[in-house]
Amino acid sequence: MCDGVVVGSVAEWATFGATFLATIAAGVAVVFSARANALAKRVYADDVKVRTEAQARAVYPEILGLSPYKKGDAIPAPPSDWSMSQVGGTNLLDVSKTATFAAERLSLLDVVLHNGSGEIIGPFQVSVRDLTLQLSLPGSIGAGIVRPGETTTLIRIAIPYTEHRIVPEIAFRDSVGQWWSRIYYEPVQKLDAKRQRAYEAVGI
The residue ranges of every structural domain in the chain are 1-57, 60-201
State yes or no: cis peptide before 123, omega within 30 of 0: yes
State yes or no: pLDDT of 52 exceeds 70.
no
- Looking at residue 87, what is its pLDDT? 60
* Burial of 49 from C-beta contacts in 10 A (0-12 / 13-18 / 19+): exposed
- Looking at residue 199, what is its pLDDT? 66
pLDDT (tens digit, 9 = 90+) per residue, 92-151?
A: 878 777 778 888 898 889 899 999 999 999 889 898 999 999 988 877 777 788 999 999
- The C-alpha atoms of residue 11 and residue 9 are separated, in whole angstroms, by 5
DSSP state of 57: H
Provide the percentage of residues in the chain whose pLDDT is more than 70. 68
Which pLDDT band holds residue 81 (cuts at 50, 70, 90)?
low
State yes or no: pLDDT of 154 exceeds 80.
yes
Mean pLDDT of the chain: 78
* pLDDT (mean) for 183-192: 90
Q: What torsion do the CA atoms of 99, 127, 132, 193 make, to the nearest 10 degrees?
A: 160
State yes or no: pLDDT of 44 exceeds 50.
no
> How crowded is residue 100: how many other Cβ atoms within 10 Å of its Cβ?
21
For the domain covering 60-201, report its CATH number.
2.60.40
Of 167, 128, 119, 169, nearest to 146 (Cα)? 119
- Looking at residue 115, what is its pLDDT? 96
- Looking at residue 130, what is its pLDDT? 93
